[in-house]
Amino acid sequence: MDLSSIQRFTVNVSQRVRRGCTLLRNCLLGSPRLKDWFYPPSKIKTPAEKYRERNEDYFADLHAQERMLADGPRMAFYHDAISRKIKRGDRVIDLGTGTGILAAFASRQGAAQVYAVDHSSIIEHARELAAENGIENVDFEDVHSTKLFLDDQVDVILHEQMGDFLFDEAMVPNVCDLRDRLLKPGGLILPSKFELYCEPMTLRDDRRVPFIWELTDVHGFDFSSMERSRPQDSEYYGLVSCDLGFVKHFLGEPAPILEVDLHTITESSLPLKVSFTRKVTKEGILDGLVVFMKVKVDDDLELSSSPLDSGRAPHWGFRILRLDQSYAEIGDKLEVTLTVKDWTDPDTWRWTCGMWGCEELA
């Protein structure tokens, strides 16, 4: 038997085995009795439970914590915010305390009592670090925030629950739950004001990686037939980067697509479809949409993850929602729609961007 016959034989067998497994799985799922036997309902985890476990594991890792602590703009923002807003005598919850750094800032600012909550095992280090740094009035609560119960309500909820795409660390449900149960009327959530951006943009020429079917001349080799094999998985269409040199410029004037105040928001009030337009003010290839956030405490105190902001907080990524390339000229109009099943799960986001030439519009 030659080599190519062996390869064909192996591919054939593995395809048959895969088809067999899929068939068996579908039979199991089709029969309620068998399904319950293989997948007992008590063992099926909800997406929220699965996310919680991932989050707990992720933040137990010292590297996840050191990336945040070494992020200079982030730490300066929180240090300033706490110095400005936390008053002597305040009772404070630090939701997701991690290494306990924000709880320590609040304590040094004169808080009467800080309840520092974390569901991850990092909280053991937080306890020791506080003792070693002379921080005394912090109670460390080793629970998920939904299991935190206190006799009296607090003056401030302090938190850093922002994911790369703002909502993907369950900030809204976590903070709303504590706000509704444990924050005094008129109490403070720090920070509370957020903006989400989704800007049409062009990548730097030397960094652009087009879709494979857009590569029509790699030293005379054409990949355009690969368009027949467009991947179906949403992950392929979203890239995450922290790299400041990646995005060349926005095509229009940036504006937030969502503005959120945690004092008033409810989980169900987040829209699941956002449509907006941008007039092209700087021409270039439309490579995709870049998603980033801003957090505001005062007019002169904000934190940004914009790829074009040299003072951006470097450990947060921004997300690029890829689009088939087209060239946008000054005056063109871009119509963008973002639909989302679940803001905490970027894989459920879908987007389109239509472009109208200025002549067509005229």
Ligand X SMILES: C[S@@+](CC[C@H](N)C(=O)[O-])C[C@H]1O[C@@H](n2cnc3c(N)ncnc32)[C@H](O)[C@@H]1O
Contact footprint for ligand X (CB under 6 A): 55-56, 59, 68, 96-99, 101-102, 117-120, 122, 144-145, 160, 174
Q: Which residue's entry shows tokens 């970027």?
A: 346
Q: CB–CB of 286/200 below 8 Å?
A: yes
Nearer to ligand X, 16 or 147 (CB): 147
Closest distance of CB 343 from ligand X, Å: 15
DSSP conformation letters of 166-182: BSTT-HHHHHHHHHHHH
- What is the nearest approach in angstroms of ligand X to the Cβ of residue 124? 12
DSSP 252: S
Q: How far is the CB of 17 from ligand X (least distance, A)?
A: 40
> Which amino acid, residue 131?
A
Task: Look at residues 287, 113, 90 and name the one whose alpha carbon lies nearest to residue 207.
Answer: 287
* CB-nearest residue to ligand X: 96
- Nearest to ligand X of 59, 343 (CB atom): 59
Q: Are strands 113-117 and 91-95 parallel, antiparallel or unpaired?
A: parallel
Residue closer to ligand X by CB (options 101, 280) is: 101
CA triplet 303, 307, 308: central angle to 5 degrees?
A: 90
Q: How far is the CB of 303 from ligand X (least distance, A)?
A: 12
| Residues forming beta bridges with residue 328, ordered by sequence position | 284
CB of 111 to ligand X, least distance (A): 15
| Cα distance between residue 22 and residue 239, in whole Å | 30
Between 28 and 69, name the residue whose CB sits nearer to ligand X: 69
Q: Which is nearer to ligand X, 144 or 208 (CB)?
A: 144
d(CA 170, CA 294): 17
Residue (125 or 208) nearer to ligand X, CB:
125
CA pair distance 298, 284, nearest whole angstrom:
34
Give, in degrees to the nearest 5, the angle at Cα 315 between 310 and 319: 80
Residue type, 333: K
Sign of the four-CA dihedral 203, 204, 205, 209: negative
- Specify whether the CB–CB gap between 114 and 92 falls below 8 A: yes
Our CB check for ligand X shows the closer of 13 and 48 to be 48
Q: Which is nearer to ligand X, 80 or 324 (CB)?
A: 80
- 311 Cβ partners below 8 Å, 6+ apart? 73, 304
Work out how close the CB of 89 gets to ligand X at its nearest, in angstroms, rounded to a whole number: 22
Min dist CB 62 to ligand X, Å, is 11
Rg (CA), the chain: 25
Minimal CA–CA distance to 257: which of 345, 198, 324? Answer: 198
Q: Is 210 helix (H, G, I), strand (E, B) or coil?
A: coil
Give the residue with the Cβ less far from ligand X, 56 or 342. Answer: 56
CB count in 10 Å sphere of residue 90: 20
**Distance in Å, CB of 262 to ligand X, minimum:** 14
CB of residue 271 to ligand X, shortest distance in Å: 24
